Structure 1
Amino acid sequence: AGPWASRPLRWVKGRVVTTYCPANNEPIASVRQASLEDYEETVKKAKEAWKVWADIPAPKRGEIVRQIGDALRQKIKALGSLVSLEMGKIFVEGVGEVQEYVDVCDYAVGLSRMIGGPILPSERPGHALIEQWNPVGLVGIITAFNFPVAVYGWNSAVAMICGNACLWKGAPTTSLISVAVTKIIAKVLEDNRVPGAVCSLVCGGADVGTAMARDERMDLLSFTGSTKVGKQVALMVQERFVFEDADLNLVIPSALFAAVGTAGQRCTTARRLFLHESIHDEVVAKLSKAYAQVRIGDPWDSDTLYGPLHTKEAVKMFLDAVEQAKQQGGSVVYGGKVISRPGNYVEPTIVTGLPHNAPIVHTETFAPILYVLKFKEEEEVFAWNNEVKQGLSSSIFTKDLGRIFRWLGPKGSDCGIVNVNIPTSGAEIGGAFGGEKHTGGGRESGSDSWKLYMRRSTCTINYSKNLPLAQGIKFQ
């Protein structure tokens, strides 16, 4: 493997990492990681490539990004299979993740003809006041194992049409998908006589990530990983509220998908389910029945809905969390054990009986464990939502319009994603994606998140023969 910087460089000094299939823990491949020396060379080539890329008009950059989307679309099933093989999510989710990158490319194409600042009215005669947006330069992108394609796509497609070069460090456990995606992108760039280093890759561990974080040549750094490591976008405690007037036909499938999808390893996975005391027992019973019908199996089987955890370490973390929940007064009403089969399979788990402020409830657990909590009043449960340090995604289930708008208002959810009658997971690309508090640090994908990848200049042009000063100041 090599850091794609024009023609591939060879990594010869970095350590070799073996990647494993989470479904059976069999080795897939050995990938040589980049050394810090390799990293230095890659950064230099990426910075040089930026000089070429920034000179290309934005609509032309958009056309090249469109071609990248088409190239990904042509290989979507193969890439989806690779995501499933290396990460462990079911095949349909692997394909869906690549499709998300394709969709962001389509979005970015249109955006390439729209980015820019307004012409503002000047208070001085014969003057024009404009906003000029320029690329920041080199965007570092560090992504996590759970979405090894989509998160890079959110960042790179928009960053590219803004005129930036990108340097990607994926998770060491998903190096194959990082290499495959980068090869596809590099071919499109080079077919357009653009250096492949515009989208460079360094496979590596914490040493490379630390180097990126400390490197002043990184004009912008996007990090997705644990709050413990990054304090930014991460493994979150997510929230969901179900009031007594909720439509349970929406609640059960929504909670099931949000808590069990991707084996509980999404950043928007539901961790806490708050149920009004009047419907608590009914919902728990129906949810347990729904859990029992989840088809667990091989990620590549089209009938499978629930696959393995990503690593053996994740299985240990799951067991530790279940034990802590029991010690703190919780009852496991469904699941809680490792499944006896090859691979990193655990039972999707429901825990009841814990207080809202139990330490385990406030602890990040990247596993399919749903803590079901009972509440009485709207005011208290809104406060419980906001008492944790994380704040990415939340959802409420109710038919009360007043409650909906209180939930969306200043005293409602303090999360970056605030939903009503839909799951916490499954965000569309057109909206800005990101959280608040320890899961804050910016937005990605849609809306006006493109502004993060650019620097803004306020420009005043005097096209008259006079020199009036602002605020009517006389200096003569």
Structure 2
Amino acid sequence: MFTSINPATGEAGEGIKELDADGIELALGRAQTAFSAWRNSAPEQRTQLLGAIADQWEANKQHLAETAVREMGKTLASAIAEVEKCISGFRHYAEHGPSYLEPSEVQTPGGRAVARWLPMGPVLAVMPWNFPYWQVVRFLAPTIMAGNVALLKHASSVQGCAALMQQLASAAGAPDGLFQNLAIKSDKVSDIIADKRVVAVTLTGSEGAGAKVAQAAGKALKKVVLELGGSDPLIVMPSADLDEAAKTAVTARVQNAGQSCICAKRMIVHAEVYDAFLEKFSAGMKAVKIGDPMAADTGMGPLSSVQQRDTVLEQVERAKAAGAELLFGAEKIEREGAWMTPGVLVGLDPESDVAKEEIFGPVAAVYKAADIEAAIALANDVPYGLGSAVWTQDEAEIERFARDIEAGMTAVNALLASTPAAPFGGVKLSGHGRELGPWGMHEFMNLKAVMYGKGAQAGD
């Protein structure tokens, strides 16, 4: 039985029964049956379904958002924004998906070849709790458009969100077995990956979870896409708009209580503007209103769980032991639930173990860099490479950062955020493969070459 705990109150939610072996077998059989029909569906049928799902989400926006708040603690405003982003994701693939499926033709010495994008089969997604809807939709929408079918293994703490997503897909007219939530624990994942009916797997989660899934997929010789988080840098140069840079940095650290893979965690600031930025950033972090996540004026709610909160506090203690100074905050709030205050660390040794880790909570490490070379070196001096952000008005500096920062994404004078139209993913220990746009859809499709001899016509 899965039972979510409201991180704002400590109260237990409604339980969801765990799927047993017979239930898993039934789900896999339904997925295979659904694929045998859906693979031959017309693009128009797929876009119609995506639009209908988006309509269902629109009609149930408040219910979806409140479920996420109760299960993982994000503010209601951010939960509504997440649901709206999901709706835009479904509508993006409904609008642009058919063009992503268009074949392309090349001339060959013997005639010509047509490259076609064909579906592969049931795809398993192993998803985390921090964005319980968007993490799934950025896999689900392209999966439907590709002609594949989707199996979801969601985090144990957000099974209510997972069940609700399946219900809305069914209400929109999704064929039986097209999208199924597998209410299972992690120890069942390897066997499902090994099942011959499952053709590929995608995971968003920790480095350890990614390694286990990649090992299982490799053993079965199946395609895998991994997004494993990061320790993203935000670099501030002398020409930057410091007010906007500091404001964005605060948002990065307290959005979703700091539990976002692609929001900046390390602030790397040029020595010329270090003091001014630190003053503005610290003032912004201290001003964040912590409170009831359902309240409209709350800036930050609790973390997702007491365990997650305590993990962050333990990392802060190790940072202090490594020589860092805690300027303020990063303290446990003595009330029921997973509460803490935002905090800022300075003087952390970049070579210490904790400096190489991802701090998944509302705590920032601020570093001083002598010049652009030092800033880039420090940005790259972690084992991760998911996102990054740079603040500068200098075009030459922008080009250097875009070229030399080791990351899958770089935001320029903006908060880094995913979008349905652009590729999403990282390098190094942040994983491999891409989600979103045509790139994400094509990850789990068969790029088939159809070769035509001279004089042959398509369909001959």
- Give the TM bin, normalised by the shorter chain: over 0.9
Q: Which residue of 1 aligns with 2:22?
A: 37
2:41 aligns to what SS in structure 1? coil
Q: Which residue of 1 aligns with 2:115?
A: 131
- 1:208 is displaced (CA, Å) by 2.4
- 1:343 is displaced (CA, Å) by 1.3
Letter paired with 1:413: I
- 1:23 is displaced (CA, Å) by 0.5
- 1:247 is displaced (CA, Å) by 1.1
Unaligned runs of 5+ in 1: 1-15, 466-476
Q: Is 1:87–1:174's contact at 8 Å kept on the other side of the alignment?
A: yes
Instruction: Give the counterpart of 2:202 among 213, 217, 222.
Output: 222
Whole-angstrom CA distance in 2 between matches of 1:40 and 1:391: 38
- 1:256 is displaced (CA, Å) by 0.4
* 2:44 is the counterpart of 1:52: no
Q: Deviations over 1:422-473 (max 9, x none)?
A: 123x2222111111111122111224322112111111123649xxxxxxxx
TM-score of the pair, normalised by structure 1: 0.90
Q: How does 1:368-407 map to 2 (within 5 A)?
A: 368-407=362-401
Number of aligned pairs?
441
Q: Which residue of 1 aligns with 2:295?
A: 301
Q: Deviations over 1:326-357 (max 9, x none)?
A: 10000111202101222111111100011222
Q: How does 1:173-188 map to 2 (within 5 A)?
A: 173-188=157-172
Whole-angstrom CA distance in 1 between matches of 2:340 and 2:198: 40
Q: Deviations over 1:368-407 (max 9, x none)?
A: 1101111102112212212211111101111111111111
Letter paired with 2:105: I
Whole-angstrom CA distance in 2 between matches of 1:248 and 1:167: 45
Q: Which residue of 1 aligns with 2:335?
A: 341
* 2:403 is the counterpart of 1:423: no
- 1:235 is displaced (CA, Å) by 3.3
2:335 aligns to what SS in structure 1? coil
* 2:423 is the counterpart of 1:432: yes
Identity of aligned residues (%): 24
Whole-angstrom CA distance in 1 between matches of 2:286 and 2:255: 14
1:100 aligns to what SS in structure 2? helix
TM-score of the pair, normalised by structure 2: 0.93
Q: Is 1:39–1:208's contact at 8 Å kept on the other side of the alignment?
A: no
Whole-angstrom CA distance in 1 between matches of 2:302 and 2:191: 32
Cα distance change on mapping 1:373 and 1:212 into 2, 3 Å: farther
Q: Which residue of 2 aligns with 1:206?
A: 186
Letter paired with 1:74: A
2:443 aligns to what SS in structure 1? helix
* 2:357 is the counterpart of 1:363: yes
2:141 aligns to what SS in structure 1? helix
1:113 aligns to what SS in structure 2? helix
Q: Which residue of 1 aligns with 2:78?
A: 93
Q: Is 1:59–1:112's contact at 8 Å kept on the other side of the alignment?
A: no
Q: Is 2:264–2:389's contact at 8 Å kept on the other side of the alignment?
A: no
Q: Which residue of 1 aligns with 2:318?
A: 324
Whole-angstrom CA distance in 1 between matches of 2:97 and 2:249: 37
Instruction: Give the counterpart of 1:118 among 104, 110, 116.
Output: 104
Q: Deviations over 1:240-259 (max 9, x none)?
A: 11112211021111100111
Q: Which residue of 2 aligns with 1:461?
A: 452
Q: Is 2:345–2:364's contact at 8 Å kept on the other side of the alignment?
A: yes
Q: Which residue of 1 aligns with 2:219?
A: none
Q: Deviations over 1:274-311 (max 9, x none)?
A: 11122222221221111121111111100011010111
